[in-house]
Amino acid sequence: MAFSFPDEVLEHVFSFIQSDKDRNAVSMVCKSWYEIERWCRRKVFVGNCYAVSPRMVIRRFPEFRSIELKGKPHFADFNLVPDGWGGYVFPWIEEMAGAYPWLEEIRLKRMVVTDESLELIAKSFKNFKVLVLSSCEGFSTDGLAAIAASCKNLKELDLRDCEVDDLSAHWLSHFPETYTSLVSLNISCLGSDEVSFSALERLVGRCTNLKTLRLNRAVPLDKISNILRHAPQLVEFGTGTYTADVRPDVYSDLAGAFSSCKELKSLSGFWDVVPDYLPAIYPVCSKLTSLNLSYATIQSPDLIKLVSHCPNLQRLLVLDYIEDSGLEVLASSCKDLQELRVFPSDPFGAEPNVSLTEQGLVAVSLGCPKLQSVLYFCRRMSNEALVTIARNRPNFTRFRLCIIEPKTADYLTLEPLDVGFGAIVQYCKDLKRLSLSGLLTDRVFEYIGTYAKKLEMLSVAFAGDSDLGLHHVLSGCESLRKLEIRDCPFGDKALLANAAKLETMRSLWMSSCAVSFAACKLLGQKMPRLNVEVIDERGPPDSRPENCPVDKLYIYRSIAGPRCDMPPFVWTMDEDSGLRL
Amino acid sequence: MELQLGLALPPPPLIPIETFDLNSYGNYETREALGSNASSWPLLKLGPAGNDINNIHHHNSSSSSSSSSGGGAGCKKRSFDEAPFFDEKRNVPKTLHLLLWTNQPNDEDDDPSNVLHENSSSAIFKNDGEGLVGWPPVKTWRKKVHHQIPNGGAENNRLPAVENGIGGRASKSTYVKVKMEGVPIARKIDLSVHHSFDGLTNTLMRMFGISDGNRKIFKLTYQDREGDWLLAEDVPWRTFIRSLKCLKLIRSRG
């Protein structure tokens, strides 16, 4: 006997379900749930902007208020994706402008955003509230001025890690004097050295709900006190340049200003740090849960002092100046630490410039019981250390290790690091993200294929011996969504033998590997729901023999078919590619 | 290179999993029967007691203590044999493959993936001698910060308004090629993080591994927009920055 709740009841129940995965699951239960769900989905997440067309999204979800789109592959962060590859947001804004006058939130990652797009946003969405641009490019302060001028209900403007053309610092003044709704502002990426301080101070002063403010490097240290005094309710704050001549009045002003911020939980910025000014933040350190010192070129003793004042730290980003000794102090002081990122201060130097080794990571994994996410750059590693780390900390969900010199062996035994990473995947059963480095054979991939059942994203560089390695991963990693590979001897066999697996993943990136043009064509012909893109700046792939390896290959599942906005150095292999090329 | 089609593209309904033998790859006995490339790799057994990394037979014994169980007899088989990893509802063929995984050793002469394997180690360096792109994987704007002198000195008292107005990334690429005489591989260097010849020279010396004592042997030259090669030290920094196209370190003569 069929029994069902009235639609309104189901809709009410669904309103408590926010995560995309759960929403997607709900929509697959039956046709009527699909229908109800699609009408009441308010937040849409599109992990690859080319996997679906704007029209398809709009057709399926007629009433969403918030959209998140991601564009370029992750390796674009490291200059591996040539400029002009794609990821343009304008077609999406254009379609949504017509369909959703009530759109409130747009979050974009690694997309090309033009001033035209920003102006269209400003013009089209009357109740626009949130704009988060992460690692985006293509716009200038003119576009920002349009947003500032028109979006009266704007709550959040976050430009993290964007590349912005700074034409004029005065875009900030385009926020009208009547505008007071700002809650979060992140302009840390802006380069302009003429931020209008008075405009900034006035803006901060009248937006009494401001909780997050991340300034850019151009804001001098002596301006911070004023800003902080205007916004003692701040929860997250990013300084500008943290340098000035050491003067007692400036110092006490600063220390007083920080003391007045009783809600501060997160600090960042700290470009060009002068250590003498660091103690000014001690009053807030005991409440800090997040600290980003990854631009702070201060040495280990100062870092140690600082970190010792922060017992409640959950997230720390720091340069390798912290050294093993600093990490040992971190391990003993910060028992709530969940995420640690250690960046290289001298990534291109041939010799180590700091005393940071695998020991620091071992210490932290031993001392911090809640540690689950790590990004660690170092110059040496051993299987022994990795096994110890894995056993100490089986609760890792993200483990990204970058040994700076490619193909570096275990420094104690000179063996590959297969066994060490094998331990990581075997012990850390909830591992979702893994980045490999060092000397690695096909064996590490066998371990990964066998044990890393929850792994969703894998990054591989300069590793493996043969197609067997890739085959292990593609055939074994059940939860794999994103695979990115560079400079590995993986070729056609593993790829073709696991063609269907690729439809279950979001994307696969392979550059400087051994996949032939012929294999790409075959894949494109036979797999209509995959877009197989060959990226090659050397010229058309058919001007070389078919068995020649392609330079870069980006394969992603899509129901939108091949895209139409490709630059001259990108070729899509589709059903006709055998005929056309 | 001939690509064997394992099977023609199936019609939309699911194909029973038994039709394909790809998954028999999970059978270790098959693998052991094959040639040297397919030697069995007993899986790592990591028991709770002690640091018992097993000695894998084709590697030298590791430094840690080994437990008594060797080999692959007690190995955990892959679970994907037991549970299909495709969601049947999604109508994706379970194991469509466009090439039967034959598991033969990769020793055919005309197998291009062999040829490419030899070349792939040199794939690290691109044909035009560009050097390693995108490695180490550090985002562009982080690279800039790290080139600063850590303990300040003149840097700390400078206004933040540096020449290129760096707060975040400069909007145009500021990388130039650097070659050193006698070294076949060129490198790339980000000019926007340097503000003086001293800083630039320091970075270059480090990049090419030249010790302090040997610094005097090298001179920095650059090629300007007209194609002429000039000595870097002969011009002011601003002129140098504006007109240079690429750099070269040469050994000074006499």
Return the SS3 of A552. Answer: strand
Contact at CB, B3 and A294, closer than 8 angstroms: no
Residue in A240, A272, A512 nearest the CB of B155: A272
pLDDT at position A40 is: 93
Residue in B80, B96, B142 nearest the CB of A475: B80
> Which letter, b or e, does each residue of A366-380 get, where b requires 16 or more Cβ atoms within 10 Å of its Cβ?
bbbeebbbbbbbbbb
Residues 6+ apart with CB under 8 A from A311: A286, A333, A334, A335, A336
**Is residue A9 one of the residues assigned to a domain?**
no
pLDDT at position B25 is: 37
Nearest residue of chain B to residue A135 (CA atoms): B139
* Residue closest to A131 by CA, chosen among A93, A86, A99: A93
DSSP state of A453: T
Distance CA A215, CA A462 (A): 38
Q: What angle do CA B128, B133, B137 make, to 5 degrees?
A: 170
Nearest residue of chain A to residue B187 (CA atoms): A348
pLDDT at position A483 is: 98
Q: If you write DSSP's letter for every residue of B139-167 in order, what string do you get?
A: -HHHHHHHTS-TT-GGGGGS-S--TT--S
Beta-sheet strands, E only, within A47-188: 66-70, 105-109, 130-134, 137-140, 156-158, 163-165, 184-186
pLDDT at position A577 is: 53
pLDDT at position A385 is: 98
**Is residue A27 one of the residues assigned to a domain?**
no
Contact at CB, B168 and A217, closer than 8 angstroms: yes
CB B141 within 8 A of CB A382: no
**Is residue A532 one of the residues assigned to a domain?**
yes
Q: Tell me which chain A residues have a C-beta less than 8 angstroms from the C-beta of B152.
A: 243, 272, 274
How many Cα neighbours within 13 Å face the side chain of A411? 11
Ramachandran bin of A559, using left for φ above 0, alpha for ψ from -120 to 50, beta for the remaining angles? alpha
**Structural domains in chain B?**
175-251 (3.10.20.90)
Nearest residue of chain A to residue B161 (CA atoms): A193
* Residue closest to B117 by CA, chosen among A509, A514, A439: A514
pLDDT at position A193 is: 61
Residue A456: other Cβ atoms inside 10 A: 19
Q: Which parts of chain A have pLDDT scores under 50?
A: 1, 578-581
**Is residue A269 one of the residues assigned to a domain?**
no
Beta-sheet strands, E only, within A125-220: 130-134, 137-140, 156-158, 163-165, 184-186, 212-214
Tell me the pairing of strands A552-557 and A507-511: antiparallel
Chain A: nearest CA to B101, how far in angstroms? 6
Nearest residue of chain A to residue B104 (CA atoms): A468
* Domain of A565, in residue numbers: 506-580
Residue B112 touches chain A, beta carbons under 8 Å: yes
pLDDT at position B99 is: 66
Candidates A188, A297, A379, partner chain B, best to mutate (most B CBs within 10 A):
A297
Contact at CB, A406 and B63, closer than 8 angstroms: no
**Is residue A230 one of the residues assigned to a domain?**
no
**Is residue A437 one of the residues assigned to a domain?**
no
pLDDT (tens digit per residue) in A365-406 = 999 999 999 999 999 999 999 999 999 999 999 999 999 999
**Tokens read off for A334:** 């910060």
**Tokens read off for A510:** 């392979």
Q: Token match 């070294």: residue?
A: B183
How many Cα neighbours within 13 Å face the side chain of A330? 33
Distance CA A111, CA A162 (A): 10
Looking at chain A, how many residues does it have? 581
Number of domains chain A contains? 1
Q: Token match 């990473």: residue?
A: A421
Q: Tell me which chain B residues have a C-beta less than 8 angstroms from the C-beta of A377.
A: 136, 138
* Residue closest to A222 by CA, chosen among A184, A262, A251, A180: A251
**Is residue A338 one of the residues assigned to a domain?**
no
Instruction: Confirm whether pTM is higher than 0.80.
Output: no
Candidates B25, B145, B173, B212, partner chain A, best to mutate (most A CBs within 10 A):
B145
Q: Tell me which chain A residues have a C-beta less than 8 angstroms from the C-beta of B1.
A: 492, 516, 518, 546-547
Tell me the pairing of strands A570-573 and A530-535: antiparallel
* Residue closest to B56 by CA, chosen among B32, B78, B31, B39: B39
Distance CA A198, CA A205 (A): 10
Contact at CB, B168 and A189, closer than 8 angstroms: yes
Interface of B with A in 16-75 (CB under 8 A): 22-23, 25, 37, 41, 43-44, 46, 51, 53, 56, 59-60, 62-64
Distance CA A382, CA A340 (A): 20
Residue A482 backbone phi and psi in degrees, to 5: -130, 130
Helix axes A323-333, A358-367, angle to 10 degrees: 0
Each residue's pLDDT tens digit in chain B (254 positions)? Answer: 333 333 333 333 333 333 333 333 333 333 333 333 333 344 455 444 333 334 333 333 333 333 333 333 333 443 333 333 333 334 444 445 566 565 544 444 343 333 333 333 333 333 333 358 899 999 876 765 554 443 333 333 332 333 333 333 333 456 787 888 877 667 777 777 777 788 888 888 877 778 777 888 888 888 887 778 888 888 888 788 878 878 888 887 64
Contact at CB, B63 and A412, closer than 8 angstroms: yes
**Is residue A101 one of the residues assigned to a domain?**
no
Residues 6+ apart with CB under 8 A from B162: A193, B195
CB A472 within 8 A of CB A444: no
